[in-house]
Structure 1
Amino acid sequence: MVKLEKPRGPVGESVRRNDVNEKVTGAAIYADDIRFGKDLLYGRIKRSPHPHARIKSIDTSAAENYPGVKVVITGADFPNHIGLYLKDKYIFARNRVRFVGEPVAAVAAVSEEIAEKAVDLIEVTYEPLEPVFDPEYGATPEAPLIHPNLADYEVPNFIFPQAGTNIANHFKIRKGDTEVAWDECAAIVERKFRVPHVQHVPIEPHVAVAQMSEDGKVTVWAASQSPFAQRNSFAKALDISQSDIRVIAPYVGGGFGCKAGVTMEALPVALATKANGRPVKVRLTREEEFYTNFVRQGLVIHMKVGCDADGNLLAMENKMYWDGGASTEYGVNITRAGGYSSTGPYDIPNVKTDSLCVYTNHPIGGAYRGFGMSELHTAVDQCMDELAEKIGMDKVAFNKLNCVSAGDKLVTGMTMHPHGLQECIDKVAAALDWGKPAPASGPGKKRGKGIALAWKAPAMPPNAGSSARLQMNEDGTATLSVGGQEIGQGA
């Protein structure tokens, strides 16, 4: 009898990372490591000191005449709107600024020191306007309009801005009749939650280099999570074909969502179009990372949920005010994701959801490790905890009773597929010794136990399609090629 050896392959085994040698030896090349020689120009940005103001005048003459300065640009040079979904921003502000740190002008010079000095010479006169900092207030008719021309912006058919308001997207879901269901509830919990902005703070700050060749083709080297989205936006901003733009993303030193879409990468691209073929680098300082870059959107959420005396969930109403910031980028789609996932992984027969992305004069809201899911679920499951406690029901039993099961009709109309969630709850409860007191970690201290459910539905549109190529090799191994960007996750 011949004993067959176990085939060598990736299934069920750890796989050595392809980049491990370069990263542990320091040989890995990141965007800031790429050398372009003596022709490289350095860009610095003139930014708004006001959260909301009209631009009355811009005087760039002193910067233009400063020795070593090669390029000076303003919003007048780039009139096209850009944006990932809703085209609601400019590369440089035109006529109005909408957050502290918004780019107003830029210079490119032969050194960073010269660029820094020259950008300070640009004089901008402003007329301050009333700002909006609370998304709930921003959604009211009394709030000053941040985008008076919202009706004129280009928008895809799955985003629903409300012209004449600060609402960049209003996503609705209705299932059953919540008004009737409230009368049938034995217990109701109603709460309001506020989740603040959070900055990603990757180890590597944002940096990008752009160069335009004599034939008008643009090459960009950027620390980027989504080079194709950037290529599309650059083409729109410059009125050139996508085939004339190439975005190269080397190793990325962490992203967590802040390097998705277009953050600062359009700035060196704009400078490069006026640099006579010379490459232009823009590198953000750590300070700029905090006040000029994408943040996780803040959220104000009103939630009401009720159940019968046996613990069966009967109704939920939630209204979410997402702080989209001065422009939306990913914010309008995070609003959709929050709406689709608004019930959490619970089977609820009557649901009323309103998810609103609201313009404010905060930094632009973007993706952040979960696409809105952690913000939403912190509210959902706190209410579920209180509801179970209110009727005197064990939380594990409450979760198992109400979690979605295979065949359930979800709030979106989709039929739920098999998933093993109840089995997962049982295993977690067993691992926690659920029902038994947790030993104290020290004198005068107490420890508690909790269990929560969540799901993630990023709600990406069809233009985010993915593909992969799997090749089976002669020795039993497999080679998998995917189009996703590696930002530290190891694949």
Structure 2
Amino acid sequence: MKYVGISVPRVDGIKKVTGALKYVDDIKLHGMLHAAVKRSPYPHGEIIRIDTSKAEKLSGVKAVITGKDVSKRAGLYLEDKTFLATDKVRYRGEAVAAVAAETKEIALEAVALIEVEYRELPAVTNALEGLKPDAPLVHPDLGEYKWGPIFFPKPGSNISNHYKIRKGDIEKGFAEADFIVENQFFVPHIQHCPIENHSAIAQMDAEGNLTIWSTCQSPYAVQKALSVAFDIPLNKIRVISPAVGGGFGGKAGTTLEGIIIPLAKKVRGRPVKLTYSREDEFVNSFVRQGMHAVIKTGIDKDGKITAVKNTFIWDGGAYTEYGVNIVRAGGYASTGPYDIPNVWTDSICVYTNHPVGGPYRGFGMSEIHFAIEQNIDMLAEKIGMDPLDIRRINGLRPGGKNATGQVVEVCGLQECIEEVAQKLAWSHKDKSSQPNKRRGKGIACAYKAPSMPNNVGSSAIVKLNEDGTAHLLVSAQDIGQGSDTALIQIASEILTIPPHKITIKTGDTDYTPYEWQTVASRITYCAGNAVARACEDIKEQLLELAQIRFGIPKRDLTLCDEYIVSKIYPDRKIAIKDLALGLSMDDGSGFHGPILGRGAFIPPNVRNTDKQTGQGEKPVAFWTYGCQGVELEVDVETGKIEILKVASCFDVGKVINPMLIEGQVEGAIVQGLGSALYEELILEKGIVKNPSFVDYKIPTAADMPEMLVSFVENPEETGPFGARGIGEPCMVPAAPAVANAVYDALGIRITSLPITAEKILKALQEKNK
């Protein structure tokens, strides 16, 4: 291969490092108004009265809205939210009114003049409490909402989804076990912390055409949700996402767009802009859901796991329209990448009066694997086995079955385990040179599949230009992962046109073709397949024309270095550019016309699982498997952890761009270490206590460990050139690997995140007692 498998520099790199790339908050339109939002001071309360009269009279105010202006519910999976509260507020910070004014300062002054009277209600601030029969109901009208057929809310309760796995005979599995172990774990809410804050501009013209500029990952998903919420036909809504400065899932759905649209409708022709503050980011955009896990496991004396019973209780927050799918994903992946014959899983999403839970890199996998992979180490200790060996025994192999009963056909997990063990020098135990420090090594495995409906896909258009260059049109968003570059490489490989001669255009629902969402580690796979098919379409047209031109059968022609060439007579060739507008005949006539390529893709043969058991032959498009190991050092006097080395290996099917994929994994390692050591959204009685980078810590350049990144390439049969997704899976094992390494170093088990110095010192004190 000439273009796939090599490190092509990022096509957006120069624009980003020079500041030439324009983001939504950089956009300034003529006559633009500025929005501000009135938010609830209570986690849960009934709205008695809203008086906007003083705000409306303030000079410079052009529009004021309340919940009556956005009374229709919306949501991608479960239609449970309105963009402004209507009857009651469900989390502290929820929007209850909004203002559009000539300046941001006037808008903020007007918001302060809005008077809202509430009747405070008892709040649900713990998911376990929210499950109790006498718990206050966050959504009393849940039974009236709409949801998809693969989700299972329970009206009359706070349960917005209950996903089940019932595989084998759980009681028989426990009866066959020599040991039964039960462990509990907790993962807190965390924030995405992209560099770019959420920002959006809405403008409606006199004919009712709505244009939205948004920092969104998924323009078509946003377009659809807004169409439903505001009863606007899709052909009247244009969503433009010019650039996204990081997302990690937090920009996947709709957030502030629905607040400014009603304002734009009231001030026809004038754009209305709203950009979140950093505090807004922490409270009013998606957070990663919290989770309580209980894992009961049966294992025999030889290390074979006979049964596992999982209970995952997810704190979905005030609205769980996206969270219900995370809970589903956590359910069908609930065993981790292990072949276990008997499985019983309850994965339950619970409404609370906390900020809204939503997609975060890993989509539930980081949360459940923190529990699963520590539990594996705890089982190994119970029977006196090396943590590496228990994974060798139980880890999936080709021909094995996962939690849904799917037979695994391609799986490089065992190869990844061996690669990490070698890179980490697993059998060699290093000692610290300082008496107050202890060293330890930990390992964790992971797997992830794209969590998406089975009937959604990607599309691409490629058009040839008459000088032999090309334009690639997709709606997959490059949110930092490098998809623009990877998709161009796929196109270059098929068309034999160098990457610098292909320009990619993305993120405009009026002009770029349909893409479900830029989520789920699916873009290289789904959009890559669509691009490949569009290029194959062009290739077929070129060969047809060259067949006429030369009188040589298509089977004897090929594309090579920007030419259509005879395989038998290489000197007989014609440049691609000479056929870009069709074939010119000797008599002066023409044939075919300009060449456009069209490609579309939906993952083949993917079907829903059984509603009662969660079993299915192929519930997902593919699985990505991997392993990560950590070596660290702990200061027993301060509890401070220093990560010394991280080894990571994943089976990616095919590396499209080595430089980009290494960057992806290195970024995921650091982000995973952040969730392991520092990050926690501190919630007290429904109030976020640390909504800024002063009190919420993430890793910096000073925290970078040595990173040893490698890959296994077992081709995915349905992937472009054999590739499968990697962007999310490579973050998943970081936190449990750290927890297992801490145990190796100190003999203490930290079962809740983050693993702070305070928790370590407390655990050491308890151990010493």
Give the TM-score taking structure 2 as reference length: 0.61
Q: What does residue 3 of structure 1 align with? A: none
Partner of 1:207: 199
1:36 aligns to 2:42 (yes or no): no
Please state how far the C-alpha of 1:460 moved relative to its aligned partner.
1.0
d(CA) in 1 for partners of 2:416, 2:268: 60
Q: Any residues of structure 2 matched to 1:120-131 within 5 Å, and which?
A: 120-131=112-123
Residue 73 of structure 2 is aligned to residue 59 of structure 1: no
1:236 is paired with a residue of what secondary structure? helix
**Equivalent runs, 1:15-414 vs 2, <5 Å:** 15-37=8-30, 39-414=31-406
Post-superposition Cα deviations, 1:312-355, rounded to whole Å, max 9, x if no partner, equal 01000111111110001310000000001000000111100000
The C-alpha deviation readout for 1:28-67, integer Å capped at 9, x for no partner, is 1000111202x10000001111000000000000001110
The letter for the 2-side match of 1:424 is C
RMSD: 2.0
- Matches of 1:479 and 1:399 in 2, distance apart? 47
**Separation in 1 of the partners of 2:469 and 2:449?**
32
Matched, 1:14 2:15: no
Tell me: CA distance 1:325–1:12, structure 2 relative to 1, closer, same or farther (3 Å): same
TM-superposed CA distance for 1:404, in Å, is 1.1
Cα deviation digits, residues 142-165 of structure 1 (max 9, x gap): 211110000000111111100100
Aligned-residue identity in percent: 55
Deviates further, 394-403 or 443-452: 443-452
Residues 1:431 and 1:96: Cα distance change in structure 2 (over 3 Å):
same
**Structure 1 regions of 5+ residues with no counterpart?**
1-6
Q: Deviations over 1:361-397 (max 9, x none)?
A: 0010011111011010000010100101110111111
1:480 Cα deviation from its structure 2 partner: 6.7
Q: What is the aligned residue count? A: 483
Task: Sort the Cα spacing of 1:445 and 1:480 in 2 relative to 1 into closer, same or farther, 3 A.
Answer: farther
Please tell me whether the aligned partners of residues 100 and 292 of structure 1 are also in contact (alpha carbons under 8 angstroms): no
C-alpha displacement at 1:466, in angstroms? 2.7
TM-score normalised by length of structure 1: 0.95
- 2:443 maps to 451
Amino acid at match of 1:448: G
Query: How far is the alpha carbon of 1:472 from its aligned partner?
Result: 11
Letter in 2 for 1:78: V
Are the structure 2 counterparts of residues 449 and 277 from structure 1 closer, same or farther at C-alpha, using a change threshold of 3 Å?
same
Q: How far did 1:409 drift? A: 2.5
Change in 2 beyond 3 A, CA 1:249/1:54: same
2:415 paired residue among 414, 423, 432 = 423
Once the two structures are superposed, residues 447-477 of structure 1 have per-residue CA deviations (whole angstroms, 9 ceiling, x without a partner) of 1111111101242113542345689999999
Name the aligned partner's letter for residue 199 of structure 1. Q
Q: Tell me the distance in 2 between the aligned counterparts of 1:363 and 1:126.
A: 19
Aligned-partner SS, 1:219: strand
- Which is bigger in relative contact order (C-alpha 8 A, separation at least 6)? 1
Q: What's the secondary structure of 1:12's corresponding residue? A: coil
Structure with higher helix content: 2
Aligned mates of 1:335, 1:419 — CA distance in 2: 24
Cα distance in 1, alignment partners of residues 69 and 120 from structure 2: 23
Gaps of 5+ in 2: 484-769
Letter in 2 for 1:214: A
Q: 1:478 to 1:140 in 2, by over 3 A?
A: farther
Shift of 1:405: 1.3
SS at match of 2:274: strand
Tell me the CA shift for residue 433 of structure 1: 1.4
Q: Distance in 1 between matches of 2:143 and 2:388?
A: 48
Larger Rg over CA atoms: 2
Counterpart-to-counterpart distance in 2, 1:478 and 1:417: 37
Q: Distance in 1 between matches of 2:87 and 2:482?
A: 44
Q: What letter matches 2:150 in structure 1? A: F
- Corresponding residue of 1:4: none
Q: Does the 8 Å CA contact 2:43/2:354 hold for their aligned counterparts?
A: yes
SS of aligned partner of 2:273: strand
Identify the range of structure 1 (458-467 vs 189-198) with the bigger mean alpha-carbon deviation: 458-467
AA of the residue aligned to 1:181: G
